[in-house]
Amino acid sequence: MPRELTILVACGSGVATSTVAQEAVKDICKKNGIPAKIVKSTMSEIQSKQEDVDLIMVTTNYRKPVKKPLIKVFGLISGIGMDKIEEDIVKTCKELLNL
Amino acid sequence: MSSKNVYLAAEGAAKDWKEAIQLCGKCMMEHGSVNQDFVNACIEREKEYPTGLPSEIPVAIPHSKAEGIKENTICFLRLKEPVRFLRMDDSEEYCDTRLVFNLAIREADDHLEFLQKLMRFVLDAGVLEQCNKLPLAEIPAFIEKELG
């Protein structure tokens, strides 16, 4: 049985955009049969939380180095380039799960 | 849920994004929705993680989850002249906008549906045109209807 991925979705304040993005990511994972648990945080919490997650998604630009794969998901909010982001998410998740 | 939210509208002139947030803050404080801590937190957050949205009609959505929110409030500000906000998706880029939505929302997880609607709303050129045109006094009811 494949293990479950833990995905961190971060935005500036951890309020508006990460909440919307989190839901979009949840839908994408469900649709594509990817078992995932999604946690939300602010951008400044990324450094401390990255150890506990498999994958990081951000709604804004994040320039500090991270130890886990990082996907920019602003398009899930604006609706621009959504297909490409979905593709990226599915591909990255499947690689992490060795599917 | 929408009945619990407060909708406010303001108009004015600002020389930069900071003044724009202060104008929203003044409007919300007069209404008793938030206190100065919230306004300061929005300004601090904007410096680090800006909220300009480069859509068809650019808008900015300054917000913060800091203490100081007494009731969930959306304050719309229509500026005489555009001010420059750095962009949310790329803080090295900017967008100039006359339309600012200052969001004071507690417990975002309980308001998911509302936030989804709100994000669609602030990216919808049609409703933003209305926000541009309508008399200021009609705007709170218009926004409430759109988000309700």
Query: Is A53 within a domain?
Result: yes
Token pair for residue B22? 């202060």
Count of domains forming chain A: 1
Domains of chain B: 2-141 (3.40.930.10)
How much of chain B, in percent, has pLDDT values that exceed 70? Answer: 98
* CATH number (domain holding residue A44): 3.40.50.2300
Q: What is the ipTM of this complex?
A: 0.74
Query: Is A57 within a domain?
Result: yes
Query: Is A50 within a domain?
Result: yes
Containing structural domain, residue A14: 9-96
pLDDT per position as a tens digit, B28-49: 999 999 999 999 999 999 998 8
- Interchain CB distance below 8 Å, B88 and A23: no
> What is the maximum span of chain B, computed from C-alpha positions, in angstroms?
38
> What residues contact residue B30 under an 8 Å CB cut-off, 6+ apart?
none
Query: Is A22 within a domain?
Result: yes
Q: Chain B within 8 Å of A92 (Cβ-Cβ)? A: no
Question: What residue type is A96 in one-letter code?
Answer: L
Q: Chain B within 8 Å of A27 (Cβ-Cβ)? A: no
pLDDT of residue B10: 98
Query: Is A49 within a domain?
Result: yes
pLDDT per position as a tens digit, A18-50: 888 999 999 999 999 999 999 999 888 999 999
- Interchain CB distance below 8 Å, A12 and B55: no
- Residues of A in Cβ contact (< 8 Å) with B53: 78
pLDDT of residue B59: 94
pLDDT of residue A31: 96
> What residues contact residue B106 under an 8 Å CB cut-off, 6+ apart?
B65, B69, B72
Query: Is A1 within a domain?
Result: no
- Please answer whether residues A10 and A18 qualify as being in contact, where contact means their C-beta atoms are separated by less than 8 angstroms: yes
pLDDT per position as a tens digit, A51-91: 999 999 998 888 899 999 999 998 898 888 899 999 999 99
Is the predicted pLDDT of residue B27 greater than 50, yes or no?
yes
pLDDT of residue A72: 93
Query: Is A75 within a domain?
Result: yes
Work out the average pLDDT over B90-100: 94
